[in-house]
Each structure stands twice: as structure tokens, then as C-alpha cells.
């Protein structure tokens, strides 16, 4: 699924995000969405979310 569209992401969903400090390496962190932080319907770098672990990052992959 596309992590650039807000409509594709919902709380409780398992996703892979790239955190700010990992943007250069592209290292992904997997977790469960707690909150969606991006207000717009689309973001070219991925929708920003807060995971249940407290980590914040932009969604690169969604897992069903």
C-alpha cells in the first residue's frame, strides 16, 4: 500500500516507518500506528505517524 496517502493509514495498523535520524540510511522501523500526525491527505515523503512504542516516522510500507 501507499504510505503517501492518509486514507490508506489507520490507527492499529502495522506499518514500517523511517525515523528522522534514519533518513540517510533508509533503515525501517516496524510498529503499530497510535496516531496520524500529518493533517494533509497526501505527503510526498510519507504520512507522519506516532507508533505505540512512542517512535515517530514517515510511513514507507503498510502491512495488512
As its CATH architecture, domain 6-63 has: Roll (2.30)
Contact in structure between 48 and 60 (CB atoms under 8 Å): no
- Over residues 28-44, the pLDDT tens digits come to 999 999 999 999 999 99
Average pLDDT over residues 46-62: 97
Query: Could you tell me the pLDDT band of residue 2, with boundaries at 50, 70 and 90?
Result: confident
3-state secondary structure labels for all residues of the chain: CCCCEHHHCCCCCEEEEECHHHCCCCCEEEEEEEEECCCCCECCCCCEEEECCCCEEEEEEEEC
Residues 4-14: tens digit of each pLDDT: 999 999 999 99
Q: pTM here? A: 0.93
- Give residue 28's region: left, alpha or beta (phi > 0; psi -120 to 50): beta
Q: Where are the domains of the chain?
A: 6-63
Label residue 64 by pLDDT band (50, 70, 90).
Answer: confident
Amino acid at each position: 500500500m501507499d504510505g503517501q496517502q492518509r486514507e490508506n493509514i489507520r490507527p492499529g495498523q502495522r506499518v514500517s516507518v523511517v525515523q528522522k535520524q534514519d533518513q540517510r540510511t533508509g533503515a525501517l522501523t516496524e510498529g503499530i500506528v497510535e496516531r496520524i500526525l500529518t493533517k494533509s491527505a497526501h505527503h510526498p515523503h510519507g504520512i507522519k505517524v506516532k507508533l505505540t512504542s512512542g517512535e515517530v516516522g514517515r510511513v514507507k510500507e503498510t502491512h495488512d
